[in-house]
Amino acid sequence: MKRQPRAKKSLGQHFLANSDYCQKIAQFAQIGPEDTVVEVGPGSGQLTRVLLPLARKVIAVEFDRDLVRYLNEHFLEDNDDAPKHLDVIQADILSFNWALAGEHPFKVVGNLPYNIATQILQNMLPIKDRVQSGTFLLQKEVAQRILSSPNSKDYGYFTLLMEYHFERTPGFDIPPGAFVPPPKVVSQVIQLRPRNSPFLVPSEPHFQGLLKEAFQQRRKTLWNNLKSGHDPESLESAFEACCIPSRARPQEVTLEQYACLGRML
């Protein structure tokens, strides 16, 4: 048996070591025998071990070269069947070539590094049509931002971006003690399923820019955040057509209303 690798503080590594939670994640992700799974950040391979018997193929994408070596040696030694349907790829997930996942749709599962979790999710938007679902273990604070509703402190640009592109389903919390080493925060599992938003906009890049403008200063009204980039007449017409009060703050406005602005401005 290979000695367990040590987490590197420089890479923000916290390995999920509790097998019961690994089983819960795989069950929540609904992994079946026809599924190709891209596992983001397999770490020491505890979740990989659970995914392998369930999936048709597992593609484990790991940045740390030492862990890539460990995973290859570990599964080659301990599981004769694993090499037939396990690919361990050394790559930065932020620049990963998703063509390596094959031609067919796939499911993404991962314990995302806390410091780049939002970047990873945003980088998946261009390939979301190939993704059946994404089941992610995140810092609870980030998960709450994704899942939040209008009029909450967590509701903002990233919430609306995720809501526009995905159906968002909360899962369950995982305590620090399930990890090695334990993080200082609680983690949460959520699932994202790509969708075509019912509130379409003519230009998604323009819409993202509008959302960033809207939340540049949360304490200001939405009108004040947008007025420097739009003439008052257009803004007034858009607010009226989208049923947005002139004194509304950005966190009080729904995705449907923002999409309406995206079509009007």
**Residue 96's CATH number:** 3.40.50.150
pLDDT at 131 over 90: yes
209 and 178 in a common domain: no
Q: CA-CA distance, 5 to 19, in Å (whole number)?
A: 17
**What does residue 116 show for φ and ψ, rounded to 5 degrees?**
-130, 15
What lies within 8 Å, CB to CB, of 41 at 6+ separation is 61, 62, 63, 93, 110, 111, 112, 113
Range of the domain at 128: 9-194
Give me the pLDDT at residue 73, please: 86
105 and 73 in a common domain: yes
pLDDT at 11 over 90: no
79-108 mean pLDDT: 85
- Domain boundary (194, 221, 240) is at 194
- Domain boundary (141, 174, 194) is at 194
The verdict on residue 1 lying in a domain is no
224-230 mean pLDDT: 93
Q: Which stretch of 5-9, 63-67, 156-160, 226-230 has the lowest confidence by average pLDDT?
A: 5-9
Confidence at 8, pLDDT banded by 50, 70, 90: low
Residues 33-54: pLDDT tens digits?
999 999 999 988 999 999 999 9
The verdict on residue 3 lying in a domain is no
pLDDT at 78 over 70: no
Q: Is the dihedral of CA 27, 28, 29, 32 positive or negative?
A: positive
* 3-state secondary structure at position 199: coil
232 and 150 in a common domain: no
The verdict on residue 199 lying in a domain is no
Calculate the CA 108 to chain-centre distance: 9
**Residue 238's CATH number:** 1.10.8.100
Give me the pLDDT at residue 9, please: 59
**What does residue 155 show for φ and ψ, rounded to 5 degrees?**
-75, 130
| Burial degree of 11 (CB within 10 A; 0-12, 13-18, 19+) | middle
Residue 9: both structure tokens together: 């503080």
Confidence at 1, pLDDT banded by 50, 70, 90: very low
What lies within 8 Å, CB to CB, of 92 at 6+ separation is 63
- Domain boundary (153, 173, 194) is at 194
Q: Which stretch of 25-29, 182-186, 237-241 has the lowest confidence by average pLDDT?
A: 182-186
Q: Look at the block and give the residue holding tokens 């361990």.
A: 88
208 and 181 in a common domain: no
| pLDDT-above-90 percentage for the chain | 78
Global pTM?
Answer: 0.91
Residues 255-264: pLDDT tens digits?
999 999 999 9
Domain count, the chain: 2
Give me the pLDDT at residue 183, please: 87
